[in-house]
Amino acid sequence: MQPPSRRTFLALGLLLSTGGALAACTGSHHGEDGGGPGERRRPDPDEPVRQRAVSATDALLAGYDALLAGSGAGQAGLLEPLRAEVVQHRAALAAGLPGPSAAPSGAASGTASGSGSGTASGSAPQSPSGSPGSTAPASTVTTTAALASLERQTAQTRLADLGAASPQLARLLASVSAAGVLHTVALGDTAPAAAAPPGPTDPATAPVPPSSGAAPSGPASGSPSAAPSGSTAGTGPEALTALQGALGAEHAAIYGYGVVGARLPDDQQRADARTALAAHQTRRDAWQRLLGGAGASPSAAAAGYQLPFAVTDAAGATRLAAHLESRLTAVYADLVAAVTGPQRATAADALRECALRARRWGAAPTAFPGLPDPAGATPATTPATTGGATGTPAG
C-alpha cells in the first residue's frame, strides 16, 4: 500500500480509510467452525480479551441501571443516551463469542425502570493488573460521580488488553475506551485521563526495532503522551505507512489550526486553539523522531492545504477544529491496528485526546470515536460541513 499523499490530508480523504473496519473486527470469522459437522470450534485467540471486555461492560451497565432506578426524569435524560452507547459497545465486543457471553445480560437488555429487571452480575471490572478493581459494586452506584468513576476505570481496563488483542480488536478497544472517557466528561468528571499502559513485552506483541532492543513506552501523563526521541516501531510496511499517515495528518492539523486561530476572537476559544496547536506540534515531532529511529524518512508538510469548506468567521473556525479532530480519531484508530507494543498504547492515547478535543469543539456524538458505527446502530448526526468535501492541495 502506498503512503497517502501529504497534500490531501485536510479533505475527507486526509485519513486512512476506516470503512468496514469495525465489521472486520466484529465479523463472523471470530469463533467460526472448523468446517464440518461435529468438528470442534476453532479456538479464537481474541476470545479471552472479549470475555473480559464483556464482563466489564456488564458491570458498567449494572451501574447505569442502579443509578437510573433511583433517578428522576431529568437525570434519566443524561444517563439513557450514554447507557445506549454502552449497549452498542457490548454488542461489538461480544461479536463472535459462543454461548451466554454473546447474548445480552439482564443489564444489557433490560430497561432501567427501577423494577430490578435490569440488574446484571455485580462483579466489578478488573483492574489493569487483572485483580479486582477498587470500584464499589454496581449496586452501590448512587451518584453520577460514582458512575463516572466506574466509566473511567472501565475505560482504563480496555487499554490494559491492547497488547493481547488482535489488530482489529485493539482498534475497537481503543475506540470504546475513548468513548468511556467521553462519558466521564459528560457525567461531570473532567480530571485528566491516565495514559494507556504500555502493554506486555512478549515477543508476539512487542515491536521489533531495526537493531537490537525494545522500544520504550511513552510517559504516563495528562499531556500528549508522545513517543520519546529514539524509540522505534515495528519495521513492517503497514506500520510505517500508518505512521507516515499520522504524521501527514498532524501536518494538516497544524496548518488547519493556523486558520482556526486567525478566525477566533481573542478569548478562551483562541487559547484553546493555541493549546490544541501545541499538542499537535508535539505529536508531529514525536512521529518524526519515531520514523527517523525506524530508518524511514518522515514526510514533510505541504506548503498549503485546501480547506474542506470556507472558514470566514468564528463559527466556521470551530467547525473546522471539530472536523480536524474528528478525522484524526480515524487516523489514530488505524494506527492502533497497524503498530504493536508501546506504540499501540501511544496511538490509543492520541485517539482519546483527539476525541476529547473534537467533542469540546462541538463534534457530533458517536459511540465509536474513529470508527464507523456498526451495522444496525443509529448513526449520530453528522455536521454538514464534514460530509462530502474532497479538496485539493493549495498552491
Question: What are the structural domain ranges in the chain?
Answer: 1-24+202-395, 47-164
Q: How many residues does the chain have?
A: 395
**What does the alpha-carbon distance between residue 231 and residue 319 come to, in Å, rounded to a whole number?**
35
- Left (φ > 0), alpha (ψ -120 to 50) or beta: where does 114 sit? left
Strand ranges (E), 127-216: none
What per-residue confidence (pLDDT) applies to 374?
64
Q: How many CB atoms lie within 10 A of CB 293?
A: 19
Check the CA dihedral 199-205-209-211 and report its sign.
positive
**Cβ 54 vs Cβ 152: under 8 Å:** no
The helix/strand/coil state of 132 is strand
pLDDT digits (tens), the chain, 395 positions? 444 444 444 443 443 333 444 344 444 444 444 445 555 667 789 999 999 999 999 999 999 999 999 877 778 999 999 999 999 999 999 998 987 666 765 555 544 433 333 333 333 344 433 333 444 566 678 899 999 999 999 999 999 999 999 999 999 999 999 999 999 999 999 887 666 665 443 333 333 333 222 222 332 233 454 443 334 545 588 999 999 999 999 999 999 999 999 999 989 999 999 999 999 999 999 999 999 999 999 999 999 999 999 999 999 999 999 999 999 999 999 999 999 989 999 999 999 999 999 999 999 999 999 998 765 444 333 333 333 322 333 43
> Which grid coordinates are listed for 370?
474513529
What per-residue confidence (pLDDT) applies to 37?
53
- Left (φ > 0), alpha (ψ -120 to 50) or beta: where does 31 sit? left
- C-alpha separations of 134 from 83, 125, 131, 191 in Å: 22, 9, 9, 18
**What does the alpha-carbon distance between residue 146 and residue 164 come to, in Å, rounded to a whole number?**
29
**Cβ 197 vs Cβ 331: under 8 Å:** no
Dump the DSSP string for 25-73.
HTSTTTT-B-SSTTPPBPP-TTHHHHHHHHHHHHHHHHHHHHHHHT--H
CATH assignment of 1-24+202-395, among 1.20.1260.10, 2.40.160.50, 2.60.40.650, 1.10.10.10 = 1.20.1260.10
**What does the alpha-carbon distance between residue 337 and residue 318 come to, in Å, rounded to a whole number?**
30
**What does the alpha-carbon distance between residue 83 and residue 183 come to, in Å, rounded to a whole number?**
9
The structure's pTM equals: 0.74
CB proximity list for 223: less than 8 A, separation 6 or greater: 279, 282
> Which grid coordinates are listed for 386?
464534514
- C-alpha separations of 390 from 15, 65, 292, 305, 369 in Å: 12, 44, 31, 12, 21
> Which grid coordinates are listed for 321?
477544529
- Left (φ > 0), alpha (ψ -120 to 50) or beta: where does 297 sit? beta
| DSSP-based helix, strand, coil % in the chain, nearest 5 | 50, 0, 45
- C-alpha separations of 347 from 165, 240, 333 in Å: 15, 13, 7
**What does the alpha-carbon distance between residue 194 and residue 38 come to, in Å, rounded to a whole number?**
47
